[in-house]
Amino acid sequence: MYRLIVFSVITIAAGSAHASGVPFFTSPDVPDYSAKMIVRDTYNDEGGRQRVVQHHNGWTHVEEDRREETNIYYGHFFKNVVLTATRKNGEISSIEVRQVEPSHDYNGITEVKETDDVEAIGGEQCRWREIVRKTWCPGWST
């Protein structure tokens, strides 16, 4: 049962490639990796918060500590599914799972194009991609 809850929480957090700066990818060929980082807000002097990112087989799992709670995101860009959850005192306090057809996604992503731009960062070749979004319109008019 615990595994089912954890999987459900992770699945919800990953939705629609929208995670406010969380590293979701727009290509299925991203290699597996794990990363641990400190995130610092430019408007906040209270130090940083820890973010752990794991990517495997197209799925991205992110856990980020925020004061007394942990935000959990788990998702797959190309399956357009995201699980978002909040954990307080070891208990899941909220959970949301989203799976939306790309044409109905609130981010409006319609296409991901390869560009010819290549950049070397830390000895790794980084290829840039362009995210094409549908024309913006107010949410109430859709």
Domain ranges of the chain: 2-104
The answer to whether residues 16 and 4 touch, using CB atoms and an 8 Å cutoff, is no
Beta strands in the chain (DSSP E): 33-39, 49-56, 59-66, 69-76, 81-88, 91-99, 109-121, 124-133
Alpha-carbon span 93 to 86, nearest angstrom: 6
Mean pLDDT for the stretch of residues 30-34? 82
Alpha-carbon span 100 to 107, nearest angstrom: 10
Query: Best-predicted range by mean pLDDT among 4-13, 83-92, 108-117?
Result: 83-92
39-73 residue pLDDT tens: 877 777 677 888 998 988 888 899 998 888 999 99
Q: Is the pLDDT score of 24 beyond 90?
A: no
AA identity, residue 107: N
Nearest CA among 76, 122, 125, 121 for reference residue 102: 76
For residue 64, what pLDDT is reported? 92
Integer angstrom CA distances of residue 58 from 101, 123, 128: 18, 23, 18
Q: Is the pLDDT score of 84 beyond 70?
A: yes
